Every structure is written in structure tokens, then in C-alpha cells.
Chains A and B, each alone.
Chain A
């Protein structure tokens, strides 16, 4: 049976379990009139039975899915003996061939008899495994069904039991995200450590030349690569800086207007429109930057006698700033709205004008929150990829001129990892080191920003 069929089987047993549990509990107290004698509503007895049936089956299925391939591989290789494996560079390669033949990707008549034999064995073991798991799940599910059904009694606390199980399921979901994050971090860190074996950390962090070309073959003429990431950090900082120069004033002022001055009608139109900006895919911003803003800037530069690269930091930064405006403005708006009306009243009652109240009282009170929001926006700008890939260029220039092409950490990660790559050269591993740096920077920004925002929120709640 295939996995989806097994899942269907488990679902069917769960439904059956629900029905059995519910009717058993009703039967025990003599039908609907006796519900009061039950500790829980009949549905809870049904749910409890269904959960007890489905959850162990699902667990077994998961273990099987995770483990069957390696078990079968071991068995197949052992069956072929060591003689066969020595012909191939590695047993992994042999197993790949066997799997390909078994799946019909490679015609069986073109390969060695060992592989043919292995493929036959592989298929046989797989079918045995599938039958075994179907049998186990069916037996386990039915056993659980009848075991729970037999234990149903009016004083069984089915509701409490179901709620305890539900709580554990919620816990599992919440830890899942944490573990996945941890896994990503560890894998990035592991690859980075491999990178730092071939390139020293200080060369990477403080070197000023970025040219990640390494020889793929010994006879190839090529540099051994230099991995000084400072130009990338500079480029990232410059583009993020330009973006913040656009996004912070515009976002903040629009938030002030919307929350303090605008009447309800204007607000109800303008706010959703502003939030549409946040819904535009970044790739659309990317070609807007590359095809519209870039050429406009270059044309404008030519007319005033300035040399502007067609892919300039300025174009990417401006468009990224526009992208971040709704982010800044909605966060700032939240913070300004959270300032209690009583503070405004206090200022008005002293004879402060509206703008004095906003500048000296409202913004002052909302400042920590706004700073936190801006930091979150910075970390978004640093991690933003699509716009810079399309509009900022690839040249790792050490420059402070926003009219030049620059490149960013994210752009380099993309170029290092796209296309045909070997995964053990410093060139590709450099992407992980860059990723690690990016992750550490944005993580610390986020933690710091959230700390500020939380501290601020506590003040008024």
C-alpha cells in the first residue's frame, strides 16, 4: 500500500473509532436520556477513541517512512556482498544505480548483472516492507480501537483526556518551528565552519577584495579566489541606508498624518492603499527598479553630467525604501495609536497646539516603539534579496558612491549557489558563511528591536 493509502486507512479507522466510542458511551447509559450519567459528552468518548487509534498508527508510519530506505539499502548492499561494491567508487553510487534501475529510469539491460540483481532485491524488499507496514498499522489501529472501546465507562474522564492530548499536539506544533530553525542554523553553521577551514575568519570578515572564483579543475587557469567580504558588507549597508533614508521619513510622516490628522474617511482609503504596497511581490519591485528607476536615474545623471551606472546602489536603495514604507508606517502607526489619549488631553489642556502635542508628547512617548520598528525594517532591508539581485549589480566595488554598482551579501549568496556548483569548494561554502553573518546580524537586530518594542508596550498596558 502506498503512503497516501495508508493515511486514508488510518483516517477511516479514526472515523470508525469516533463512531464506536460515541455509541459505546451512549449504549452504556441507555441512550440519549442517560447523557447526564456520563462524565463527558459522548463526542469526547468518540474523539478519545479516534485519537488513541490514529496517533500511534501515525507515529509508526512516520518512523517507517524515515527508516525504511536506510534499512533496505543496508540489506541490499549486504546481499550483493563486498565484491560488487569494490567495482564502484562508492556504495552510494551503486545504490543510486540500483534505485534508478528499480524505478525504470535506466533500462535494465544496459547495466551490470550485480546492479540487476540488486534492483530485483530492492524491489522485493520494498514490497515486503510495504506489506508489513500495512499489516502492522491495520492490526495496531484495530487493537487500539477495541482496547479503548472496552475501557469506556461512564466515569472515564474522556474530556480531560482529549484536552490533554490536544495540548500535547499544540506543544508539538510549536516546538516543530523551533527545531526547524535550529536545524537550519546548525546546517549553516556547519558549512560555514568548513569554509573557515580553507579561508581564515579574519580574511573573510576584514578582507577588502571579493572575487570568489576558484579553479574547478587543476588545468584551469584561474585565481585561487579571494574572499574578503567587506565590499559586500559595505554594499549592503549602503543600499539599506538609502532605503532607510527613504522609508523612515516617509513612513513615519505618513503614520503621523494618518493617526493624528487624517479624518476617518481619508484614513479608511489611504491605509489599505498603503498596505497594498506591502503586498507587491519583491520581484515586481525588482524589475521596477531595474527597468524604470535605474534608467531614469542614469538619464537624469547624464543630463547633469554625472556618471551613473545602469545598475546603481541608488536605484536599488530607493525602490527598497519604497517597499519598506508600509512596514515602517504601519508599525509607527501602531505605536502612535497606542499612546493613551489621556496624554494628548493633558497636553491640549495645557494649551499645546496639535503639532506641539505630537512632537513633544506623542512622538516622545512612542519613540522607543518607533525605534524598534525602524530596527525591524533595517533587518528586513539587509535581508532583502530580489530587488538587489535585479537592480544592484554583481560588481563587488569598494565604493561609497551611491551612483556606482555595488553588490550585497544576499546577491552574492544567490550567485554563488545558482547554476552548476560543486559543494566542497570554498566558493560555494562562502555562501554559507555569508548566510551565517547575515543571519547573526538580522537576528541580533530583531532581538534588540523586539526587546525595545516589548519594553515600550509594557509601559502603557
Chain B
């Protein structure tokens, strides 16, 4: 979060008239804007003309039936689709006014600004300390060991894991329980000090108690980061998010305030989905 980005509001990009998405696609002073984004896997078009803005200090939940493209869209935001052979992205995704798919843009710097937490906890085969210190190390964020210790401690505290692991920072991260591993992955992401955290079904491999802890954590993290979360659970979307986007077969059907979407959906498909008629 640089000083000028908060000083000069980023203009809202116009949404093309062809956009069929119901609800408020654009927000004032967006952090990230996606316009007419398509993703192709080889010949297959996985998502179609998606337009959406991501606001600062807010949780955006993306819901929809399996295979609707919500994870694919999430992975566009930090260019993780680059690692998939045959994946192609068209359209514009801009972060604070600059195109993230610009050829001159370094994907490494982009990913330092946009962290990601995955469906299955994936701690590195290193110690708990080294897991969290990894990001700061590769980006040179700490000048010395004291500063690195400070970053690791703060990140573990913010991820709500400090009290459980402070005595065993040198144990392997893979030895933690599933929920602890996922919080370790969140700590690892926070340690790089990103602006956005993307979460791809972060609780789907966890039990209800671990899930509740992660959800509390998401609510706390909202104060500092923009969060985009993909979830299969509508209850989770309702609990943690302020805005909700409903995807269906690659189309973004409806976007709006979470309360409004769940109480008064405007599109038939959204209504059918949240009332449990399919999905």
C-alpha cells in the first residue's frame, strides 16, 4: 500500500454495455478491476466476459456450483494460470490503474502484492519458522535476523497461530494439524505484506472448529487487506463476506452486497442456487 495509491483515488473503469451481470459490478476506488475477462483452456472457454471490481478492506465471496469458473477467475488475479499449460487469458485486469497482464509487468512482484491461500494446506517441507520466513527472504524484506524474527512473530500472531507454535518454531510445518497448517499458510502469505489475499476454498479440508477459527481470522484480516474468497459453503459466504459474486457455467451472473444477495437475489439462477434448488 503505497502512499500515492491512497491519495489519488483510482478511476472506475467503464463497464461495457454488453455486460449482462446483474447488480453492482463496479465500486468506487477499486483496488482491482476486471473487464471482459475470458479464460481459455486450450479450445475450451472456461469463463466468459467477467466484469467485476474488488474493493479495499472488504471480503468478496465468490460462490457457485462446481466447475462454474470461480477458482479459474481467482487464479487470474495473481496470474497463477500462467503455470497451467494451454491456459490463455484475454480482457483487462488492472490493479490500481496498471494492467497486471502487461508484458513488462513482473509476475513475481505482482504475486508479492497478491497473496494466495489454497484449498489444501500446503506448507513447505521446512520448519514452521522457515515456512513463514520464506517469502520475506526471497523478496529481501528483512535486513537482518532480528527483523526477520519480528516479521515471523508478527505474521504468526496475526494468523492466530503464535500461541500454539511459539515453543516449536523449529519443528517441521508438515507436522501440524490441518487447521494449524492452513493458518501457517495464511501466516506465510501475510509475511510478504500483500495488499490482496486470494483464498481458494480455504476451509474445505478442515473440520468445523478449524473452519470457525479461519473465518474469525478472515474477519480480522479485512482491516488490512482486500480478500477474495472462493467457497462452496453459502453459509460461509454469508458469514465472512461483504460482497458476493455468483458464478454459473463460466458466467458471472450477479454481484452485490452479501446481505442483499442472500435476502433479495435479483436473478433467477442466483435465487435457485441460494435457495438450494441446485448446486
Contact = CB atoms under 8 A, between A and B. Distances in A.
Interface of A: 263-264, 340, 342-353, 356, 360-361, 364-365, 459
6 contacts: A340-B122, A346-B118, A348-B80, A349-B189, A350-B112, A459-B125
A350 B109 contact: no
A104 B134 CA distance: 83
Contacts of B239: none
B144 interface: no
Given A264-B85, A351-B139, A352-B138, A346 B124 contact: yes
Contacts of B116: 345, 349
Contacts of A263: 85
Given A345-B80, A346-B185, A351 B111 contact: yes
A341 to B, nearest CB: 8
Interface in B96-129: 108-112, 115-116, 118, 120, 122-126
A346 B125 CA distance: 12
A349 B192 CA distance: 11
B122 A351 contact: no
Contacts of B124: 343, 346-347, 360-361, 364-365
Nearest to B174: A459
A349 B115 CA distance: 6
B259 to A, nearest CB: 31
A contact face: mostly helix, strand, loop, or mixed = helix
Contacts of B248: none
B61 to A, nearest CB: 20
B79 to A, nearest CB: 9
Contacts of A360: 124, 134, 138
B83 A350 contact: no
Given A356-B138, A360-B134, A348 B122 contact: no
A417 to B, nearest CB: 48
Contacts of A353: 108, 138
Interface centre among A350, A360, A459 (most CB of B within 10 A): A350
Contacts of A364: 124-126
B108 A349 contact: no
A350 B135 contact: yes
A350 to B, nearest CB: 4
Nearest to A340: B122
B188 interface: yes
B244 to A, nearest CB: 24
B93 to A, nearest CB: 16
A42 to B, nearest CB: 48
Scoring B123, B124, B192 by chain A CB atoms within 10 A of each residue's CB, the highest score goes to B124
Identify the 4 closest CB pairs spanning chains A and B, nearest first.
Answer: A349-B116, A351-B111, A351-B112, A342-B122
Contacts of B185: 346
A321 B122 CA distance: 37
A350 B190 CA distance: 10
B80 A350 contact: no
Given A343-B124, A360-B138, 12 more contacts: A343-B122, A345-B80, A345-B83, A346-B122, A346-B124, A349-B78, A349-B115, A349-B198, A350-B188, A350-B189, A351-B138, A353-B108
A169 to B, nearest CB: 43
Nearest to A346: B122
Interface string B187-212: 01100100000100000000000000
Given A264-B85, A343-B124, A348 B111 contact: yes
B118 A350 contact: no
Most chain A CB within 10 A, of B78, B125, B188, is at B125
A340 B78 CA distance: 20
Contacts of A348: 80, 83, 111
A349 B111 contact: yes
A352 B109 CA distance: 9
Contact of B192 (A344, A346, A351, A365): A351
Nearest to B85: A264
Contacts of A361: 124-125
